[in-house]
Amino acid sequence: MPYETILYEKHNGAATITLNRPQALNAFVPQMNTEVLDALKSAERDAEVRCLMLTGVGRAFCAGQDLKTRTPGQKGSLGASLRERYNPMIQQIRRMEKIVIAAVNGVAAGAGCNLALACDLRVASEEAKFIQSFVRVGLAPDSGGSFILPRLVGLSKAMELLLLGETVDAREAQRIGLVAKVFPASEFAQAAGELAQSVARSPRSIGLIKRAVNYAMLSDLEASLDYEAYLQEIAGRSADYDEGVRAFLEKRAPVFTGK
């Protein structure tokens, strides 16, 4: 499918989806939801792709829903919009075994912020900002934010961010556990790309790590222990595990193939 609101590229096992509506700080219109979902699915199907990165053109990562289409006369049903356009994107990111990295290049607000939170890892430019801006426009949190944010930063901090809607800069986001790494703006694209390349060279087990944590977030210890044993059986049968043990015993770096 040819894309108009996003860019999609592949390089050495890592694919990048770049939100491309810089005139509106990469805010979502329906076509962009459709294209992001399509690109996520095609990355999932593509055996060449082992890691996926999500980023934005210009000075924003994503400003959430395009509010210019939300005037009283044309706003329609927000519930339907979430069910049909946003929830499938978030579910796709969480369900796919491939690792999705949010490379937050600039401001991430509302559903745009929660899109980043749904990813497996977040890295940020020093210029990035995170805003749970729903309260600023009279909305409730969506796109998984009410579920994921407290799990990332704890209940008290999550409530503060949601209720006050204040801007969190990149360093503060790193301090509270919202992002893993912060890079200077001038080095950001390269550093984020290198991280995606390195994840793409990781062993098969990274997808199993994601599955294990996804499962554990929704279940109790007993069920998680059982599911861990199931996933470890899969990992133990992989070529990458054999290579990992061989490399350890031979005192060299492993060469993983993702098999």
Q: How many residues belong to the site for ligand T3D (CB under 6 A)?
A: 23
Q: Considering the complex, state which of residue 10 and residue 59 has its C-beta at the smaller distance from ligand T3D.
A: 59
Minimum Å gap between C-beta 193 and ligand T3D is 25
E runs forming strands in 96-203: 99-104, 107-109, 121-125, 129-131, 167-169, 181-183
Interface with ligand T3D by CB under 6 A: which range of 24-32, 119-127, 192-200, 251-259? Answer: 24-32
Q: 134 to 193, contacts with ligand T3D by CB under 6 A? A: 136-137, 139, 142
Q: 29 to 88, contacts with ligand T3D by CB under 6 A? A: 63-68, 70, 78, 81-82
Q: 98 to 137, contacts with ligand T3D by CB under 6 A? A: 107, 109-111, 131, 133, 136-137
Other beta carbons within 10 angstroms of residue 85's beta carbon come to: 21
Q: Considering the complex, state which of residue 23 and residue 156 has its C-beta at the smaller distance from ligand T3D.
A: 23
Minimum Å gap between C-beta 200 and ligand T3D is 30
Minimum Å gap between C-beta 83 and ligand T3D is 10
Contacts of range 11-14, beta carbons closer than 8 Å, 24 or more positions apart: 11/193, 11/197, 12/197, 12/200, 13/48, 13/49, 13/50, 13/51, 13/197, 13/200, 13/201, 13/258, 14/49, 14/50, 14/51, 14/52, 14/53, 14/193, 14/196, 14/197, 14/199, 14/200
